[in-house]
Chain A
């Protein structure tokens, strides 16, 4: 089965939110694709891609529109596609959305690049995004414009790197050795 025919079969799946998106934002190519290429039929879980400059509009539309109603942001995470086969962009920020009233899910992916990976913050839409965005900032160094309190959340203050980036060495860059030492005499 060729890629094209699979893409067609996905487009045939009626996902009300994706249809509404296509009608509202005619100029954007959402490229809906299944998260898992093996799934077909009604089980398929769709992922759309959105450019960073339109991200806030699209997400607000998904939150507010009658056909979408994604009240819940299940997860907000990021992938570093460094050295990933055929990847064109480096970071993919992923929003995992759930609508309890409409009983459907949707994944939204937004690609950003070095040297200044930046996406708008969605704290204004889903309040729970605050810590998730801090985590993505801490681990990947993707900035969230408009975040009320963009501090590190997992690593300690003064830590300089973003450790989940693929080019960060596992053993660190000497952070774990550079630390104050307490001896019997100093105690």
Chain B
């Protein structure tokens, strides 16, 4: 005759069961869902200053259709955007505007530097053109080309999606670009003002 100890299995009440499932769902949502929805509903801020902007428009139009990646809602208010697409050369006079718009965008935010000009200054190696916006603000993805074809820009958007997915939901923002800061290609000779340069 053995000793039988029987422990009745724990029966969760209905409320407890629901709460557990809910916790699990919320957890799953926080881990996967937030970034999943973020990456599929990027709202770009089109900072189109030059010819690359035309290609950006083509990317938004029906043939290439950036809406397939959920990024068709171009907003002209930085407060409603989370992806800045800098398309075109940026003059020094424009740089404060660009920086202010970037600062006005709500976190989390990402930046695409589209085209040779935005990334490096391109052929406009002159006194008035910024030689790569990444010298003055963070950039996540560089899209090469002059101008990049819409497919290339779409690849850039998909790269942003991969970055969004890889980032944690909370914690410090990881927007610090890919570490590809382009140094000025030429040694700039800083002269002192000559006598006839007067303000």
Contacts and interface: CB of A to CB of B under 8 A. Distances in A.
Interface of A: 114-115, 141, 155-156, 160-163, 167-177, 179-184, 187
Contact of A175 (B92, B137, B176): B92
B10 interface: no
Given A182-B102, A182-B103, A184-B173, A169 B92 contact: no
Contact of B189 (A160, A163, A169, A181): A169
Q: Residue among B103, B131, B137 with the most chain A CB within 10 A?
A: B137
Contacts of A115: 195-196
25 contacts: A155-B93, A156-B92, A160-B193, A161-B127, A161-B197, A163-B128, A170-B125, A172-B188, A173-B190, A174-B188, A175-B92, A175-B127, A176-B129, A177-B131, A179-B92, A179-B95, A179-B130, A180-B99, A181-B135, A181-B137, A182-B137, A184-B138, A184-B173, A184-B175, A187-B137
Interface string B159-199: 00000000000000101100000001010111101111111
Nearest to B135: A181
Contacts of B198: 141
Given A115-B195, A172-B128, 4 more contacts: A170-B125, A171-B188, A180-B96, A187-B103
A155 B137 CA distance: 21
A138 to B, nearest CB: 11
A177 B194 CA distance: 20
B113 to A, nearest CB: 14
A64 to B, nearest CB: 34
Nearest to B187: A171
Interface residues of B, number: 34
| Dominant secondary structure at the B interface | loop
Contacts of A177: 131, 135, 184, 188
A68 to B, nearest CB: 35
Contacts of B194: 167
Contacts of A167: 194
Interface of B: 92-93, 95-96, 99, 102-103, 125-131, 135-138, 173, 175-176, 184, 186, 188-191, 193-199
Contacts of A171: 125-127, 186, 188
Contacts of B196: 114-115, 141
B193 A170 contact: no
A160 B197 CA distance: 7
A176 B103 contact: no
Contacts of B176: 183-184
A173 B191 CA distance: 6
Contacts of B197: 141, 160-162
A111 to B, nearest CB: 16
Contacts of B95: 179
A132 to B, nearest CB: 19
Contacts of A175: 92, 127
